[in-house]
Every structure is written in structure tokens, then in C-alpha cells.
Amino acid sequence: MNKLKELWITNNCRVFEWDDYLEQLDEMFSDHVGRYAVVTSHNDGWDNAEVLGGFEIKETRDIVDTIGTDSEWNITIKQLGKRLYDVRLSDHDGVSDYRVGITNHYQEL
């Protein structure tokens, strides 16, 4: 099965659409459950802050739950390599770009 290389998601949708998005997230990130995501950005939020952080991926939806804000948003995820992704978040604060790398161990964060 070919994995998705690009995914567009919005949380401003109907339940059945959200379920489809979650299935697509599963297809893209199921191999990474149990690993760790390292997130960097040079334009996070309204103040274009720099971000360096990380989290354990316990479910595939952790990617959008962690990066997405508490408002309406659109997210585009592009796979750059086996464990490297660009994530673009558009919300009421503007556009934020993130680089997400997947690691095997929390000490690599």
C-alpha cells in the first residue's frame, strides 16, 4: 500500500469528514506510534516565536492535537522523508510553519 505524501485537514468540518481525516492520519503516521516527534518552528503564532519541543506519539491524531490550536484551523502535512514532515497551520493568528522529525527515543528530543 502506498502511504500518503500530503494531507490537508481542517477541524471546521462535519463529523464524517473528521473521521475521514483521522483515517488519513492513521495511514500517514501509523508507523510512528510509540516514537517521538521533535517540532521546530521559526514563525509560531501571532508573534512569530521560535519553537523547539517534542512529544511522544501515542495516537496518530496527536500530531494535529498537539500542533493545532484551540480555535478553527487548517493543517497541511507534507512528507519530506521517511521520518521528516513539514506542517503548515493556518488559524486566526495567521500561518505557522513547523518541521516535525520522528525519533526512536525521547533523549533525541
pLDDT in tens, 45-74: 888 889 899 999 999 999 999 998 888 999
Please, what's the b/e burial string for 88-97 (b: 16 or more CB within 10 A of its CB; e: otherwise)?
ebebeeeebe
More confident residue, 4 or 50: 50
Residue 30 has pLDDT above 50, yes or no: yes
- Looking at the domain assignment, is residue 37 inside a domain? yes
Rg (CA), the chain: 13
Flag whether 103 is in a domain.
Answer: yes
Residue 71 lies inside a defined structural domain of this protein:
yes
1 lies in a domain?
no
Local confidence band at 88 (pLDDT 50, 70, 90 cut-offs): very high
Other C-beta atoms lying within 10 Å of the C-beta of residue 85 = 23
pTM of the model: 0.88
What total of structural domains would you count in the chain?
1
Domain containing residue 86: 6-108
Spacing of C-alpha 33 from chain mean position:
13
